[in-house]
Amino acid sequence: MIKREKVKSLLETTDFNRDVTVMGWVRTFRNNQFIAINDGSCMGNIQIVVDFANTAEDLLKRITTGAAIAVTGTLIESLGKGQKVEVKATTIEILGDSDPEKFPLQPKKHSLEFLREIAHLRFRTNTFNAVFKVRHALSFAIHQFYNERGFVYMHTPVITASDAEGAGEMFKVTTLDFDNTPRTEDGKIDFSEDFFGRATNLTVSGQLEGELAAMAFGQIYTFGPTFRAENSNTTRHLAEFWMIEPEVAFADLEDNMQLAEDMMKYVISYALENCKEEIEFLNSRLLEDEKTKPQNERSELSLIEKLNFCLNNEFQRLTYTEAIAILRSSKPNQKKQFKYLINEWGADLQSEHERFLVEKHFKKPVILTDYPADIKSFYMRQNEPDAEGRKTVAAMDILFPGIGEMIGGSQREERLDKLTQRMQELNIPQEELWWYLDTRKFGSAPHAGFGLGFERLVLFVTGMTNIRDVIAFPRYPKNAEF
C-alpha cells in the first residue's frame, strides 16, 4: 500500500507544501468541499479540501459519513478557523463505502445508551476514542509501575478448579453434553467424565496462584480477566472485568496500603501527563453534562480537579470500627435516610455508606481496614480479638469518590493452624486447596496483596459514569453481544 501519514503527525507538523497521503474515516463532508477525516491516531480530524468542480459527481456522492477513504494531496497551512493545516486533494479513493441511510453514527451527539447498542462502531466517536486511549495508557502505566519496582508479571490461569473468594459466583467450564450428562450412582453429574476430569470454572481471582509465586519471587503482580457470575445490574459491576493483583512477601497491611496508594497516584499522574488531549476533552464533556443537572446534584470539582486532588492528598486511613462510629452518628443514619441503617458493629457496608464516608465526610479516597472476620474471605489474616472480644481481619478496602470500592486486599493468614481452622469454620474444602496450604507448610512468611478493579480505575480517570462504557464489549446479565 502507499505509505500513509497519520493525522496526528500531520496536525503537529510545520513542514508544508509537500505531497502527503492520508487514510481514514469520513466524519463529515460539508458543502461538497470540506471533508473531515479521522484515522484514530488522535482525537482531531484533518480537513481535506476538495476541488469540487473537477471531481466526478458519483465520487462526491460516495464521500459519506463513515466511509473509509484515501486522499493524496498537498499539505498546506490553513487559513480557516479551527485548524492549522489542511490537505488540498489531488486524488480521492473510496476504500470502503458507507451507506448514509444505514450508517447509525451521524455527526451529532448520540446518547451513551444508544452507543452501547452499537459498541462495534462506538470506537469511532470522540468520547470512545478518548476513553480507550486513557484505558490503554493506564494499563501501560500499571506495567511500568510494577516493572520499575522489580515485580514479576504472572499470568495466572483463567480456568481453575477453585473458588478463590469462596463466594460461589463462578461460571462453570465444561464440555459435557447437556442433553446426555453422565451421572454418578447417586444421580449427580459425573464430572470425572468431563474434559478436565473434574468440575472447573472461570477464575474469580488470580490471588491464590499469585501467592504461590510471591512465595518464590518475593513480589509479583497479575493483570488479567476475571469472571463473576453475580447477578449485579449496576453501573459498577461487570461479569467479565480485568483485575490487577500484586502480592508481596515479607509485607504487612501497612506496606500493602502504601503500595496501593503509590500505585494509584502513579497511574493517575501518568494518565494526566500522557493523555492531556483526551482528559481535557472528557473534562469538558463532563462540564457540559453537569450543566443539565440541577445545581445541588452538580459535583464541586471538575474531572481534572478531582484527579489532581487525589494526587495531592493522602488517602484517609481508618478502621472499620471507627467508620461504624462515624456512620452510626451520621445525619443520614439519624434521619433514617440510609436504606440500610447502621445499628451495630458487624454490619456489612453498603455502597450508600461507602459513598457517605468518601464523598460527604472525608471528601477524599479512604482506606478502611480491619473488617469483621465474618464479612471477609477465609485467607485474610486474623487480628487479635479487640477488648470486647470482636474478631477482625487485616483487610483493607480502598474507596474512591463516585466509585465506591476501587481496591480490596489484605494481609494473608500465613499461620497454617489459624488458616485451616478458618477454612473449617467456613466449610472450605482443604483437600482441593492442598497446594495453597503447602505454602504455609514450607517456608511460610508474612505476605500481603490486593486487587484493583481495572474498569473502576478507568471509570474514575475518565469521569465516565457507567462501567459498561469503559470496556470495549461489556459482559453483564443477559448481555454477551459482540
What is the rounded CA–CA span in Å between residue 453 and residue 214? 20
What is the rounded CA–CA span in Å between residue 316 and residue 401? 12
The reply on whether position 66 binds Mg ion by CB under 5 A is no
Residue 24 touches which member of Mg ion, ligand 4AD, none, C-beta under 5-8 Å by kind: none
Pick 193 or 230: Cβ nearer ligand 4AD: 230
Pick 224 or 408: Cβ nearer Mg ion: 408
What is the rounded CA–CA span in Å between residue 48 and residue 144? 39
Task: Identify the CA nearest to 353 among candidates 310, 376, 375, 320.
Answer: 320
Residue 450 touches which member of ligand 4AD, Mg ion, none, C-beta under 5-8 Å by kind: ligand 4AD
Give the nearest distance from C-beta 264 to Mg ion in angstroms.
16
Helices (H) and strands (E) in the chain, counts: 14, 16
Contact predicate 169/228, CB 8 Å = yes
Cα dihedral sign, 135-141-146-147: positive
Give the nearest distance from C-beta 397 to Mg ion in angstroms.
6
Contact region with Mg ion (CB under 5 A), list: 74-82, 271-279, 334-342, 403-411: 403-411
Contact predicate 344/295, CB 8 Å = no
The reply on whether position 408 binds Mg ion by CB under 5 A is yes
Give the nearest distance from C-beta 467 to ligand 4AD in angstroms.
6
Binding site for ligand 4AD (CB under 6 A): 164-165, 205, 207, 228, 230, 237-238, 241, 243, 245, 405-410, 449-451, 453, 455-456
Contact predicate 206/245, CB 8 Å = yes
What is the rounded CA–CA span in Å between residue 256 and residue 373? 18
Pick 44 or 408: Cβ nearer ligand 4AD: 408
Pick 124 or 447: Cβ nearer ligand 4AD: 447
Residue 243 touches which member of Mg ion, ligand 4AD, none, C-beta under 5-8 Å by kind: ligand 4AD
Residue with C-alpha cell 503447602? 438
Pick 275 or 399: Cβ nearer Mg ion: 399
Give the number of C-alpha atoms closer than 13 A to the C-alpha of residue 185, restricted to the C-beta side. 0
Contact region with Mg ion (CB under 5 A), list: 83-91, 141-149, 400-408, 467-475: 400-408
Q: What residues are paired with 245 via a beta bridge?
A: 222
Pick 35 or 164: Cβ nearer ligand 4AD: 164
The reply on whether position 372 binds Mg ion by CB under 5 A is no
Contact residues toward Mg ion (CB under 5 A) are: 408
